[in-house]
Each structure stands twice: as structure tokens, then as C-alpha cells.
Amino acid sequence: MPRVEPQAKSNNALLVLGKISSILDAFSLTRPVLTLGDIREATGMPTSTVQRLVTNLTAQGFLDREEDAYRIGLKMAYWAAPATRGKEILDVISPLLKELRDTTGETACLFRAEQRYRVCVAIAETRHMLRREMHLGKILPLHAGSAGRVLLAWDQDLLDEVLRTPLESITEATITSSEDLESVVKQTRVDGFAITTGEREDGSSGLSAPVFDSAGGLVAAVTISGPTLRMPREVCEGWVETLLQTAERMTRLIGGRFPSEAKS
């Protein structure tokens, strides 16, 4: 029998771990339950490999069987809990802002609602010399910009409060009609994201998506923003999937879930 070198054993183990990671990565908040066919399609691995690994993962509790499909096993939550124990939410998700900045090249921010305003609570600034001015703690109106639309879309009480107040015109593109604002906010909830151009600042664009907590409540809006000359509508649309993936990863890292109506 040929002797297996330690290095070869190590490489084989890493290869198996990579395949297991690919299987687990196939699950998401929008697709929490997958069949063997779904997993095979997502990973590109042979059917026999998928069947073998899924069987072993289920036996170990990493996956739970649900009729003819599978979901991430509850045992994973037992291990995941210590990962974020003692960490503030911003500490957990801020690295993803830097990753989003590096992927798009533009400023990535996190906004939270405070009364009738939105506040920048985390930021990874673009490395471009030409940039929109943004800093931690900056207070902005909720009725202008993509982040405001997201924050209003999943907070009906806040939306009602904003709609009862006069909407200040900041630029020619700012929405000042309560009916128009209510309409675009409703569409944001349907779409799961928002894209705006020039609403708060001429020549600027932004796209935002929601981050949710364990109760399905809105935590924040994650935003990509920059000059419209680098971020025309078609560029923003091309970044939607990247933004939504980042928002989902943030939601998962803090143990959050999508509200049922957000699972489009």
C-alpha cells in the first residue's frame, strides 16, 4: 500500500473543507431551504460528492433535513453565538463596509434613524480624490436620498411622522410631495433597495439596502454613495446584487432575519 505523505493528507483535508464551505455558503436568508439539486447547481460539484458530503453534514448536525430538502442545522447556531458575544453590532459589520468600499471603489456608509433624521454611524471612505462629503455623526433629512427611503420603508410610524411635516426642497430633484414620497417608499419596500440621484446634493448618487435584527426589525441602511459621474444609474443598478449580498451578510452576522414580506 502506498504511503500517504502528511502534506498530501493536509491538502486533502483542506480540499474537503473547501467543499463543505461551498455547500454551507449556498444557503442564504432568501434561500434557507435547498434540495440536493439546488446545492449541486450552486456549488458545481458532482452529484455523488454532494450526496456524500450532505449526508455526513446532516449526520453531524451541520445540516437539518426538511422532507426532501435541507437547511443549516441548529447546531451551527450553538457555535455561532460565541463569535459575536460581547461585540457591538458596529464592530461586527464595519469590516463589511470596507469590503464594499473596496469592491465598488466608492464610499460605503451605515445610517440609522434618529427621530426625523438619519445619522451616519459607520463609514468606509472612498480613496478617490473626488468624493461626496460624509463623516461619522453627520445628520441628514430622511426624505432625501436612498438611505432615507430604506429607513422609512420598514418603519411605518416614522414614515407617518415624516409625511405629516413639510418636506424641504434641497435640490431640484428633492421630493417635496407627501404622496410622491409615500409612493417611492412603498416601491422601495417592494424592491428591497433604493437608488437615488441628486435628491440631497446635485451631482451625487446613492443606493441603499436594509439590515435587520433577530426580530426582523430594521437596524440600519447600508449605502454606497459617490459622484454621479462615476455612479450613473446603470452603474448603480449593476451594484445592486453586491449591495444586497452585503446587507444580507450583515443581517446574518448579527443574528438577524428578513421580515416575511422582505423575502421576495
How confident is the model over 127-163, as pLDDT tens digits? 998 887 888 899 999 999 999 999 999 999 999 999 9
Residue 262 has pLDDT above 60, yes or no: no
Measured distance CA(211)–CA(218) in Å, rounded = 6
Task: Indicate the residue among 25, 53, 81 that finishes a domain.
Answer: 81
Domain shared by 140 and 228, yes or no: yes
How confident is the model over 85-114, as pLDDT tens digits? 655 778 888 899 999 999 999 999 999 999
Q: What are 241's three cell numbers?
A: 446584487
Residue 9 has pLDDT above 60, yes or no: no
Domain shared by 160 and 250, yes or no: yes
Domain shared by 98 and 50, yes or no: no
Residue 167 has pLDDT above 50, yes or no: yes
Measured distance CA(27)–CA(30) in Å, rounded = 8
Domain shared by 157 and 252, yes or no: yes
CATH number at residue 11: 1.10.10.10
CATH number at residue 190: 3.30.450.40
Domain shared by 48 and 110, yes or no: no
Within a domain: 233: yes
Domain shared by 55 and 93, yes or no: no
Domain shared by 207 and 127, yes or no: yes
> Do the Cβ atoms of 170 and 199 come closer than 8 Å?
yes
Task: Indicate the residue among 28, 57, 81 that finishes a domain.
Answer: 81
Query: In which band, very low, low, confident or very high, does the pLDDT at 172 lie, cut at 50, 70 and 90?
Result: very high
pLDDT on residue 82: 65
> Do the Cβ atoms of 108 and 123 come closer than 8 Å?
yes
Domain shared by 29 and 138, yes or no: no
Residue-range definition of the domain harbouring residue 103: 89-262
How confident is the model over 189-246, as pLDDT tens digits? 999 999 999 999 999 999 999 999 888 999 999 999 999 999 999 999 999 999 999 9
Within a domain: 1: no
Task: Indicate the residue among 81, 108, 128 that finishes a domain.
Answer: 81
Q: Single out the residue of 35, 48, 43, 47 nearest to residue 19, CA to CA.
A: 43
Q: Which is higher by pLDDT, 72 or 235? A: 235
Domain shared by 123 and 254, yes or no: yes
Domain shared by 137 and 196, yes or no: yes
Long-range CB contacts (within 8 A, 24+) of 83-91: 84/253, 84/254, 84/255, 89/219, 89/254, 90/121, 90/122
Measured distance CA(223)–CA(199) in Å, rounded = 15
> Do the Cβ atoms of 30 and 263 come closer than 8 Å?
yes
Instruction: Mark out the alpha helices in 85-227 (DSSP H runs).
Output: 89-104, 146-153, 156-163, 178-191
pLDDT on residue 133: 81
Helices 36-43 + 6-25 axis angle, to 10: 120
Measured distance CA(222)–CA(209) in Å, rounded = 6
pLDDT on residue 6: 55
Counted domains in the chain: 2
